[in-house]
Every structure is written in C-alpha cells, then in structure tokens.
Structure 1
Amino acid sequence: MSADMDQSPRSLLVCDRSSFLDEKNRISSQVEQQHFNYKVSVLLPECSSTPSHLDSVFSSFSSFYLIRKLPIYELLDKHFLETSVYQGNVYGLSYGTRVDEDNCIALMPDGRLCLSLDKDSFQLLGVEGKPSRFNHRSKSRYVVSVDLTDSSMASGGRGYLRLLSGLTTRLPLKTDFLLSHHPGGGASLQPLLSRYDWSEHRPEISRHALANLSCPALLTSDLQSCDPHSLLEWLGAVDADISCENSSSSFLSSFVCPEPKTTLSQALSVSICGLLLPEDIHRLIHEIRCYLEQPRPESWVSLTVHGFVDSPVSWGGSEHGVLKGGENFYTLLMFHNHTYRLHLATGAHSTCPP
C-alpha cells in the first residue's frame, strides 16, 4: 500500500458561533467571499414539502451560461469590460478543467482575472506571476492575478496590451467557460455569447423526503458540546442519502449519528446545483430566517454551500488547490432565536478560511 494511503488527507475546519442580530456577525462577508459555488443543500427537520416562500427562492436562483471553447482573450474585449466587468458582479470559471493538472481560469466579481497555469504555459504567456503555494518539489505551477479594473489595465495601456498579446499569440488558451452576471446580466453578455456556441442553464433542484431520521439531540439543546467533525459527517451522510444506522460489523458505511440522538419523524433535504451566486444565497438565508420565526416542532435548519473543487480560488481571492480532496465549503446552522453556528472547511491544498 502506498504511504500516502496510510493517512487521511489533512483538512482545515474553522468554527464560529454568533447571532444575526450582532452587528459584527460575519455571515454576509463569508457568503460574499465564496465566489464560485456549485451546490447548496438545505435540511428542513419535521417538514414534508418545501414551504412556498423557500421554493420561490430556489426557483429564482440566477441562470448561467456555458460557452464552448471560449478564447480567454475575449475576456479582455473592450465592450465586455465596459458593459460587464467594470459594472461588477460578473462570475466566470473554466469548466471541465482540473486545477492540479490543467490551465484554469476564474473571473471574479471585483474584476480580477486569475489564471492558474502549468510552468510551460506561464513561461509562454510572458506576464508577471508567482509560484503556486501548493507546488511540491519544484516550481511546476504558477498563478497570474490581474485586476482588470486597474488603470494599468485600461484598454490600450501597456499592461493590457501585454496580456492581450500573450493570450492571442503566445498562449491562445481556449476552454469551456461558465459565465453569469448579477442581477439579470444576460443582456450585457449577449454580444460575447453571440460569437460562440453557448447554452443557458437554470440551476437544478432536487428534493428528497426522509422518514424516521436519526438526528443529534444536541441540535435542540447544547450544540456547543457536539463534535463539529461528527456533526458535519452526519449532515453529509444525510445529504448523500447514506444510512447512519450502522452496526459495528457493517462494511458498507462507518457513518453514525452522533450521540445522544433522537428521531425525526420526517425531514426534507433540498439541493440546488449549478453556478450559484452569493447574492442568491443571501436571499435564501434571509428566507430561512423568516421560516424559523414561525412556530414549529424543530427550531433549526442547516444550510451547506459547496465551492467548485477545481476553482483556482476559494475564499476571496486566495489560491485553491487539489491533491486528494479539494473541499471548500461552509455549513450554517440557523436557530429560531437568530443565533447561528458557522463551520468553514477546506482541504490541505487551500488557504485557511478567514
């Protein structure tokens, strides 16, 4: 057996507890800093169907576009910069690329363009960058980060022309690309879309009704004494529809519900997948808080947001890498009294959550 298989990959977990009523709570900043989300999962205890106001929020998540074989130099198009990038809140991510093997690109809502490149591609591009934080024995990967809104990157400027020349002649990168603009940015994206093969997509919603679900009793009492790793494992098993009712002799799964535990007669797991924008997640959190204000048998709801495994960035503009896992997600446990528990997790090859 390989030595690497003898141990589990290192992971990072940051936990926070506070109240939405506290002006210094950091929920808004955390949601905004996770730019590229592919899945949101919500667990509603003692619920059989999605409440109408929550259902309307899920259905109104922003659509996104998939552009086939987009030349990356198109992101420097003058009209695209003026009508989309300079206006803010454009989200773009290379699709089907692996951040530990391929060239990966991200366009962030603050106008920064991030290119995670292998050594040969970086040298061909001829633009200033820095070695990846997650190089192993040699400098085999480099990161180029450019602020497209900076005066030095103005159309026709020296920095702009150098990057444009690199992407058109020395390194003509093409990749499938996910693109979205909030709010309702389809019109401003049309000139770019019209030049290539593209398709519009709505996030996919799935619902799974659960019966007689084992649940940590501590969710309704003293969560502080509940091990966060065990709690997150349980939530992940519920989302993946993996049974936690396992005996010691079971070889199928070792997941168990943390003790002490209780049983929910019913629960509803709702997931939405796609290129999911922080603005839509903000609205969902707000509606869940309204939902919790109503009298109900259980006084909590969990929400988990998963970042793209192969995004070149994770929290804010910090570098993200993949070796064994590539996790970058956060789980928010919300309670009826406006308190919350926030868990932020990443794999070993990602910057520690703020």
Structure 2
Amino acid sequence: MKNATTLILILSLLVSSQVYAQEDYKDIHTKHEYTIEQKHEVLDIDYDAIRFKKRPKNIILFIGDGMGVSQVFSGITVNDGLNMEQMPYVGFIKTQSADNYVTDSGAGGTAISTGTRTYNGAIGLDVNGNRLTTILEYSERNGKATGLVSTSAITHATPASFIAHQPQRSMYEDIAGDFLETEIDVFIGGGADFFTKRVDGRNLVLELSEKGYHVGYNVDDVSGVTSGKLAVLTAVAHNPGYRDRGEMLTKSTAKAIEVLDNADSKGFFLMVEGSQIDWGGHQNDASYVTGEVLDMDKALAEALKFAMQDKRTLVIVTADHETGGMTVNNGDPKKGFVKTGFTTGNHSAVMVPVFAFGAGAEEFIGIYDNTEIFEKMYKLFKFKEEEKDN
C-alpha cells in the first residue's frame, strides 16, 4: 500500500509540474516600450482587381490569442503597416463566455470553433459537459482536409478547442489522445511530451506513425513532404518566443497550406494560432506582444498570397479575447517605436477585431458574438443545416 501511495504521489507531481510549465508565461515583466528589430515587407494588394468566388472552398482562420485593437495598432506603428491592413472587410466580436464576463482561451476557442458559448476552461464541451462538434470536425465529415498550426503546444487551449473534447483545458495528455480520434491531415506545434512521456505509458507518436502520419520534430525536416498525413511536434512543451524560434510560424503555415491543398479532398480548413501575443499581454511586455503580432502577420502573408492565387479561399484573422488591457500611448512609425500601457495582467472583456479577405469575406463586417464566426464559416462552406448536431 505504501508503494502504491508513493507511486500515485509521484505521478501526481509529474502531471502538476507539466500543467504548471504550460502556464508559467503569466509573470508580469512590465516592459512598456518597444523598438522594432527588423521590419517586414507588407504585401501590396489591389483587392478590387481580384475576382474571388462567392463562396470559399477553403478557409484559413488565424487566431491571435489575446490580440485586441491596441495589439494590432502597436504592430502597425512599429512596422509602418501590416498585412492585416490589406484585408478590406472588418468587424468586431464580443468575447464573453457562458459563465464569465471575461473569457479564457478554452471557452473563447470553443465558441469560435463550435458556435456555442461554454464555461471557462472547457474544451469542445457545452455548459452541461455535452460534446460539441467543431468546424474542423464538420469539415472532415464533408470531405475536406483539415489542419492546425500553433506557436504554443498543440495541446494548448486554442488549438485543442478545434479538435478535443475535455472538461478542463489542463488535461493535456487527454487532449493529445483526442488527436488520435480524428482524421486531421496536418498539425504543427509544440507539446511532444504529451504524446510520448505520458502517465498512461502510451506512445502517441508511434500510434500516429501506424496511422500513416509522417512525424517530424522540425518544420525544416519535413520540407520534402508535400502530401499525405503530417504531424510536426516542434518542441517538448511550448515553442520559444518569436526572437528564438525564427520563421517557424511562417514556414509552418506555408507547409500546412501546401499539404492541405495537395490533399485529395473537397477543399480544406486550417486554423493558425499566434499563441504568444497573449503571453506578452499577461507579462505586460510591449516588446513580446508586438513582436508576436509581427510574427503572425508575416505568416498571414502566406495565406493571403495563396488566396489571391486560388480565388476560392477565405482568410479570417481574429482573436479569442484581449489580454493585458493594453493601450498605445505614444509611438513613432519612422523610428519603429511604440510606448504602451497595461491595466491588468489578465484577460479583459473588450471586443476584438475581425479581418476578412477573399471568397465570402464580406460576411464578416459588423459587430456580433464570437459564436457567429462558426456560423458564418459553416454557412459559407454550404454544410447542410440538417447535418448539425443537436
């Protein structure tokens, strides 16, 4: 009995240490000024000259976790423009969850992915614990290829809310197991330990390989993979911040689009998360926030270029919530400088922006609930109403 109790204690400590490691980005650093290290080129797009289809065959959804208007404008200021500005249809979503005026990423992601508001911490479940069907799962049902890309662990709240169904966002190993219950075509992000160093002893990487996935641990290592099933676990837990991970998000986005576009399918759905904008907000760190916005904007260029060429693709950029209560107090676009302020180390309750580009983009203007992102995508994909789960 003593040995069994000791074993349970050790396993509990291992799980709790993993959970803490997933949340250790929330310490406040209080850095309110930022000067850009290197500006990136913004696409020059004549939107009116492109003839997009009325409905999309493909949807690429970017979620800037924690990205409000001030986060976007800090990027516009220091880079003297963003690719987001090339997206002509703009709206705002209200982010409240079912049980809290201030949402978390689990409830915020679930609202966007399923069209249903739920309690903070939930992943793909409603307030009563019932399983919800996500836009990714509806896409699979309807013959579309699917993908997820994230700069966090792929098991973190936002990407998890598109593929997993768990009562708490901290159940990272259970969330990793949910990936094996789907036919997702591509996923790229951190979190390798939740697939291999598990309490239950399963090796999900081996199981993925047996299911036909090409498994890699660096985007450059899979440069030759252009089709088929692809899983790239880019870090043991979260990926490093933008200064240290290089072009990981841009390369991952381009690779996911390439593989999904080559799939023998009726189009594709891809969600790309700029996860660490949120972490910079938690830390009240203007350099972290703004650098991560710029990093996601560079990846966005890959999607916009594809949409212009394809003409059947819708690109959406939004957020699950704002983090930090951030303001832009001063700046100088010529010097690439911004000075910010923060009101909290947590999430705020303000509306967040929506930018849309391509086939069906005009549907995303106005002010509406976050659940409408799902509803608009569902209708534009022409999924039949009778297919919806009750």
Measured against the shorter chain, the TM-score band is under 0.3
Q: TM-score, normalised by structure 2?
A: 0.23
> Per residue, is there more helix in 1 or in 2?
2
Q: TM-score, normalised by structure 1?
A: 0.25
Structure with greater strand percent: 1
Larger Rg: 1
